[in-house]
Structure 1
Amino acid sequence: MSVDSVADLGRTGLDELVPSRYALKVGDIDVLVISDGVLPITASTMATNVEPAEYSAWLKDMFLPPEILDWPLNVAVVRSGGKTILIDSGLGTEFPDFPRAGQLSTRLVAAGIEPSSVTDVVLTHLHMDHIGGLLVDGLRNKLRPDLRVHVATAEAEFWAAPDFTRTVMPAAIPPVLRQTAAQFLELYRGQLRTFEDEYEVAPGVLLRRTGGHTPGHSIVRIESRGGALTFAGDAVFQPGFDNPEWQNGFEHDPEESARVRIQLLTELAATREQLVATHLPFPSVCHVAATGSGFRFIPAVWDY
């Protein structure tokens, strides 16, 4: 196949040349992982409590660039018990400096999912790259008026007056995070369904607050007929397997985040259940294995 014919294939609309969605079954539950694109971030943000030389060596070993990383953005759609549940919503299109992110609206339609069919949204937390998609007119104005948006009580309360004193972010980021969360809460307050520690949003779809990354950060465990998968949000980043105690600059409680990460990875290594996380390479479906000093990321073999 020539380069010209590849270009023609892309224009015909037969399919994208680079996959942006991956479907799998967890027992009787349908799960679709969708890429919202990639977000460039400063590499140093991924490991703020590590000696630069040690981190540089890790980046080199992982074939990653030393300065700017492309951070994947993954969301998921789950169908269970007559409900269609969107887990997180990506960045949205309000940020022109990030043109390769904010793809959710287009990719939902490409996957055959009408926004009006979504009955529930689950938000792992209220950082802008998890809620921004819900602020885009192309998606927001197509959602059903009785949409239920689930988020931990502690998360909604935190963003009334967020504390960034323990984060290590570029200076421009906290004001944008604060503004985006405030806008989201104003628009969706009447549709929020908050929970304290755990909530079953549909049969086999359990939300659990972990805290750490943000006070109300939550994960989603999907279980059916002996199969299980956890959508971990920002509880796990790419360096967190080899080095689970490395801290990420976006974590509002770095020590608690490390404790949550180690506990979650230990559980998944023991149960051998599947893991998906927001910022792991698409489609991020993987297993976890314990090693002497940390864990191993084992990508799942794609099931065609």
Structure 2
Amino acid sequence: MMSSVKNTLGDGHQRLEELVPSRYALRIGEIEVIVFSDGVFSLPASTLATNVAPADLAAWLNDTLQPLDVYRWPLNVLVVRSGDRTVLIDSGTGAEFPDSPGVGRLAARLDAAGIDPASLTDVVLTHLHVDHVGGLLASGLRDRLRPDVPIHLAAAEIEFWTAPDFSRNTFGGFPDVLESAEERFVDMYRSQLRPFETKYEVAPGVVVCCTGGHTHGHSVVRLVSGDSRLTFLGDAVFPNHFDHPDWHNAFDHDPEEAVRVRLGLLRELAATSEPVIAAHLPFPSVGRVAVAGDAFRWVPVTWDY
């Protein structure tokens, strides 16, 4: 039986509020980036791959020393400062999963970092899944934003959710959760939505680009300052996709297109060796992509202290 690793510091003593790092800062040229952990969310491991035999998925989980039944999904969110703009990229789950206390921590962690939500000049959403928009629905963040803060997302994403097609997804009862969050989000922020067609420069060197794949209007965010670059991949890549980029994630709305987009991004990023962050790679999710035979490998950066 595989044992899990837990934080147990504080038995018999006053417990610390935070036992592990929850934010990580880096610079891309003149652009400041802070990665925040919104927490870790447990889902059935079967959501990692829906087009392979259970034995193949089990083999990958065994190789990576993971349990066979539950996979713990990290949730990463960015705050980017460039010029006079401070941009929040995605917002975590908020209070959408009250039975999962390990997630929905963004608002508290912004406070711990000394970032007032009222200082945010822009919000970017890679897509409208609940774990990316839920934070904007929760009072801890929603009530403290500027009432007119613009929210940038692909027009194709808004269009998809007017009549969403879940026929190619395999995530059981999750469509109800996804639709509920999306509908409430659009109702709440309709006047603040700033849709773009293919790409939009939100701040100097901060460009959000529609790729499609994971969702119809899924986007990545490119940061460029001088010779320095970084790409935030959102949900284009999950942890198993370096070894198996052709595996369909249960939350991919167009699995074949998601594979095409994923392969294109991974090949490009392996060629450029630029740093990468993704929403569901282990915190702080900063690393590079390398070619490994017919697939790829993830190379985490060394933390700077």
Q: TM-score, normalised by structure 1?
A: 0.96
Q: For 2:39, which of 26, 37, 40 is the aligned residue?
A: 37
Change (3 A) 1:5 1:182: closer
**1:177 — aligned with what?**
178
**2:5 — aligned with what?**
none
Instruction: Give the gaps of 5 or more residues in structure 1.
Output: none
For these two proteins, the number of residue pairs brought into alignment is 298
Paired AA for residue 194 in structure 1: P
Task: Deviation per CA, 1:4-40: give whole Å up to 9, x if none.
Answer: 59954715xxxx3200000000000000000000111
Question: d(CA) in 2 for partners of 1:71 and 1:6?
Answer: 30
Question: d(CA) in 2 for partners of 1:36 and 1:21?
Answer: 10
Question: d(CA) in 1 for partners of 2:71 and 2:197?
Answer: 35
Q: CA deviation at 1:49?
A: 0.6
Change (3 A) 1:7 1:224: farther
**1:137 — aligned with what?**
139
1:68 aligns with 2:49: no
Task: Deviation per CA, 1:110-137: give whole Å up to 9, x if none.
Answer: 0110000001000000000000000001
8 Å Cα contact 2:9-2:15 kept in structure 1 = no
Alignment of 1:1-304 (within 5 A): 4=10, 7-8=13-14, 10=16, 16-170=18-172, 172-304=173-305
Task: Deviation per CA, 1:168-213: give whole Å up to 9, x if none.
Answer: 102x210110111010001001000000001110110011000011
| Runs of 4+ residues deviating >2 angstroms | 2-9
**CA RMSD, aligned part only?**
1.4
Q: CA deviation at 1:97?
A: 2.0
Q: CA deviation at 1:94?
A: 2.7
Instruction: Give the gaps of 5 or more residues in structure 2.
Output: 1-7
**2:3 — aligned with what?**
none
1:105 counterpart SS class: helix
Q: CA deviation at 1:99?
A: 1.3
1:200 counterpart SS class: strand
Question: d(CA) in 2 for partners of 1:3 and 1:232?
Answer: 34
Paired AA for residue 265 in structure 2: L
1:266 counterpart SS class: helix
Change (3 A) 1:5 1:47: closer
Question: d(CA) in 1 for partners of 2:151 and 2:304?
Answer: 31
Q: CA deviation at 1:81?
A: 1.4
Paired AA for residue 60 in structure 1: N
